[in-house]
């Protein structure tokens, strides 16, 4: 299952791509409409720090040290996810809006290691298409992306059909999409909630956003989670959620924030 070479558009006997499977249960016709209501391209990659950029006075950036010695941060759509100090589901009204960001709305001071709570809003009941593009391109490394709260249909996966393209990136994936060259098949695409994005390739997912809430969408490698390979898919609005029960437990910062001491009140 899921060959690392990501060759999924030709018949082969040695492996099965998830995109070749057929769903045993019917797929909502709306999910298969030609144009989704919302289309989101999410390239993801690593950022490699130079140690001199990390080890400065009063600097406490998180990163992982890979076996080869690289100091690594992860970026999804050029953003490294930072967890908010309290759960949006029950305490959204207390969280400063400037914590949140996405590709269309980056903090003004964002640099090469842009850090914020990556959140993408989609309307309730909209048909959403997500295209994940592997810009990490470490040989033999496929990132398993998992969505909480709802399953999605796997419409397509593969690598660039252009043999001159050695490394896929967002620009090239957008170009393929414009030309109708991203692999898509609409005949009973399988339901999944975790899917390995082929190394140096892409996947096309569709879902009906009918479960309101704040759902984490993330690579399932723990090391990648802690360096930011996550985002929140925010389905619907606060009005679509049931009220927070009275006396529901609360949480927040247990220490004043290093970067912004007034950032969150301690209760
Ligand atoms: Cu990963």
C-alpha span between 186 and 84 (Å, rounded): 37
Q: What is the pLDDT of residues 23-81, one digit of tens each?
A: 999 999 999 999 999 999 999 999 999 988 898 888 889 999 999 999 999 999 999 99
Q: What is the dihedral of CA 157, 158, 160, 162, to 10 degrees?
A: -120
- Quote the pLDDT of residue 256: 56
Q: How far is the CA of 114 from the centre of ligand 1 (A)?
A: 18
Q: What is the pLDDT of residues 161-170, one digit of tens each?
A: 998 999 999 9
Q: How far is the CA of 134 from the centre of ligand 1 (A)?
A: 10
C-alpha span between 111 and 190 (Å, rounded): 39
Q: How far is the CA of 242 from the centre of ligand 1 (A)?
A: 33
The string of DSSP codes covering 22-59 is --SS---GGGGSSS-SEEEEEEEEEEEEPHHHHSSTT-
143-164 mean pLDDT? 94
% helix, strand, coil for the chain, step of 5: 15, 30, 55
pLDDT at residue 139 greater than cutoff 90:
no
- Quote the pLDDT of residue 81: 97
Q: How far is the CA of 196 from the centre of ligand 1 (A)?
A: 9
Confidence bin at 261 (pLDDT 50/70/90): very low
Domain boundaries, the chain: 18-240
Q: What is the pLDDT of residues 195-213, one digit of tens each?
A: 999 999 999 999 999 999 9
Copy the structure tokens of residue 66.
Answer: 């890979």
Chain CA centroid to CA 49, Å: 22
Q: How far is the CA of 199 from the centre of ligand 1 (A)?
A: 11
- Quote the pLDDT of residue 254: 64
C-alpha span between 232 and 88 (Å, rounded): 10
Residues 6 or more apart in contact with residue 228 via CB below 8 angstroms = 73, 74, 75, 76, 79, 80, 81, 82, 115
Q: How far is the CA of 74 from the centre of ligand 1 (A)?
A: 8
Copy the structure tokens of residue 194.
Answer: 């975790």
Q: Note residues around ion ligand 1 (Cβ under 5 angstroms).
A: 143, 219, 221, 224, 229
Of residues 130 and 85, more confidence is placed in: 130
Nearest CA to 218 out of 231, 202, 206, 205 is that of 231
Q: How far is the CA of 188 from the centre of ligand 1 (A)?
A: 28
Q: How many CB atoms lie within 10 A of CB 97?
A: 8
pLDDT at residue 106 greater than cutoff 70:
yes
Q: How far is the CA of 21 from the centre of ligand 1 (A)?
A: 23
- Quote the pLDDT of residue 204: 97
* Domain range 18-240, CATH architecture: Sandwich (2.60)
219-231 mean pLDDT? 96
Give me the chain's average pLDDT, please.
91
Is the four-CA dihedral 206, 224, 82, 133 of positive or negative sign? negative
C-alpha span between 212 and 238 (Å, rounded): 9
């Amino acid at each position: 299952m899921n060959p690392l070479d990501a060759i999924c558009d030709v018949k082969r006997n040695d492996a099965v791509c998830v995109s070749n499977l057929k769903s045993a249960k019917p797929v909502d016709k709306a999910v298969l409409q030609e144009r989704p209501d919302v289309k989101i391209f999410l390239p993801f990659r690593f950022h490699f720090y130079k140690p001199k950029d990390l080890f400065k006075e009063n600097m406490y950036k998180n990163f992982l040290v890979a076996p080869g010695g690289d100091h690594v941060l992860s970026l999804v759509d050029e953003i490294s996810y930072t967890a908010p100090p309290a759960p949006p589901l029950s305490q959204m009204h207390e969280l400063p809006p400037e914590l949140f960001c996405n590709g269309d709305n980056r903090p003004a001071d964002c640099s090469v290691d842009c850090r914020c709570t990556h959140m993408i809003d989609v309307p309730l009941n909209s048909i959403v298409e997500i295209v994940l593009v592997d810009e990490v391109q470490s040989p033999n490394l496929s990132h398993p992306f998992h969505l909480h709260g709802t399953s999605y249909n796997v419409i397509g996966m593969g690598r660039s059909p252009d043999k001159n393209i050695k490394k896929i990136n967002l620009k090239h994936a957008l170009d393929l999409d414009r030309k109708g060259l991203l692999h898509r098949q609409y005949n009973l695409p399988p339901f999944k909630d975790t899917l390995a994005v082929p190394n140096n390739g892409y996947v096309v997912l569709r879902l009906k956003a009918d479960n309101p809430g704040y759902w984490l969408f993330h690579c399932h490698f723990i090391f990648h989670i802690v360096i930011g390979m996550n985002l929140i898919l925010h389905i619907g609005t606060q009005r679509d959620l049931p009220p927070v029960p009275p006396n529901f437990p609360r949480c927040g910062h247990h220490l004043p924030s290093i970067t912004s001491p007034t950032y969150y009140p301690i209760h």
